[in-house]
Amino acid sequence: MRKRVALIGCGNLGRIHLKYLAQNKDIELKFVADKDPETLKKISDSYGIGAYDGYEGHLDDIDAALIAAPTEFHFSIARDLLEAGKDIFIEKPVTASIPDAYELKRIAAGKGLVVQVGHVERYNPVVRYAAGFIKEPMYIYGERLAPIAVSGRIKDVGVILDLMIHDIDLVLSFVNDEIEDIETVGFSAISPYDDMATTRIRFKKGCYVILTVSRMSLKKERKIRLFQRNMYLSLDLLGLKAKKVEGDISTMSLKPSIRRFRKKETLRLEQEDFFRSVAKRQSPAVGLDEGIKALEIAEKIKGALKLEESDRI
């Protein structure tokens, strides 16, 4: 029997979710909820499904839901759905606060429900390839840049929760250790929040991480460089290319290789993982625990932030 599904929130990212949900023949898309009347009319006309300005009153019609609403509404929507016994997918960051995230965990655990958090880079083929080689990294440098033209898509959080949290999640999946120290600097230019930020993270066993993010760039870029004993990995998450150099650095006996990957619809893979987890009643690749851990580190990074302000552009 096909699962009955709703999409709550249909902004830029929600529309991509909607496209894949509508193409998925293994589910039944029952309705979309959004606050924008024009968006609802377009959905109703294009997809012939229910399009409502709220989800209340329609929860008996569904088994599961995807939440792509603004972050400030994640908790209240997710709480309502979980209390109604629905499995949920929540876009990152999981909630606006850590206590709210733990409250969702309490409700979900009590009802045996599946919760997946939208850290889509875990499904990137470059990341999946590299994960097979990453054992004990010593140094990680990540850079994630977004053009100014598209920076307006996220208005309720700063760049740390908007962009850096992707790389925080990846680092936490690469490094099995506790954090010893965090330093962060940032800059506010087009919003009341951090629009550019660099953080330095030192783990207890010695791994050193530098992450830089910006939504003030002239180009779009997502790259990670990682060093571990006798191996260097350069990962282009956007260009779908991985360069691996391995061997004995002391003797310069090195073997470089380059691997290119075909473009994959990672958000579709993410959705498939959610529905598979719901069907099998198992944990997804990025569950609530992983989402909470990424949020906790992001909040520590924000807490260490020394923010410089300029006149708004």
Torsion angles phi and psi, residue 306, rounded to 5: -105, 100
- The structural domain count of the chain equals 2
The answer to whether residues 224 and 151 belong to one domain is yes
What confidence score (pLDDT) does residue 247 get? Answer: 83
The answer to whether residues 9 and 141 belong to one domain is no
Over residues 254-270, mean pLDDT: 94
Per-residue pLDDT for 241 more than 90?
yes
CA distance to 119, 165, 181, 202, 310, per residue, from 209 (Å): 19, 14, 11, 6, 27
The answer to whether residues 92 and 232 belong to one domain is no
CATH number of the domain that 290 lies in? 3.40.50.720
Dist. CA 124–CA 73, nearest whole Å: 27
Exposure b/e, 158-170, CB count within 10 A at least 16 = b: bbbbbbbbbbbbb
Tens-place pLDDT, residues 30-76? 999 999 999 999 999 999 999 999 999 999 999 999 999 999 999 99
Three-state DSSP class for residue 91: strand
What confidence score (pLDDT) does residue 254 get? Answer: 83
The answer to whether residues 46 and 194 belong to one domain is no
Type of residue numbered 210: I
The answer to whether residues 134 and 220 belong to one domain is yes
Domain that holds residue 222: 122-261+297-309
Structure tokens at 14: 């929600």
Beta strands 231-236; 241-248: pairing state? antiparallel
Which pLDDT band, with edges at 50, 70 and 90, does 249 fall under?
low
Over residues 151-170, mean pLDDT: 82
Dist. CA 209–CA 118, nearest whole Å: 23
> Across the chain, what does the average pLDDT equal?
93
Structure tokens at 156: 């309720």
The answer to whether residues 167 and 302 belong to one domain is yes
The answer to whether residues 281 and 225 belong to one domain is no
The answer to whether residues 227 and 301 belong to one domain is yes
The answer to whether residues 114 and 126 belong to one domain is no
CATH number of the domain that 199 lies in? 3.30.360.10
The answer to whether residues 132 and 70 belong to one domain is no
Beta carbons of 313 and 189 less than 8 angstroms apart: yes
The answer to whether residues 226 and 202 belong to one domain is yes
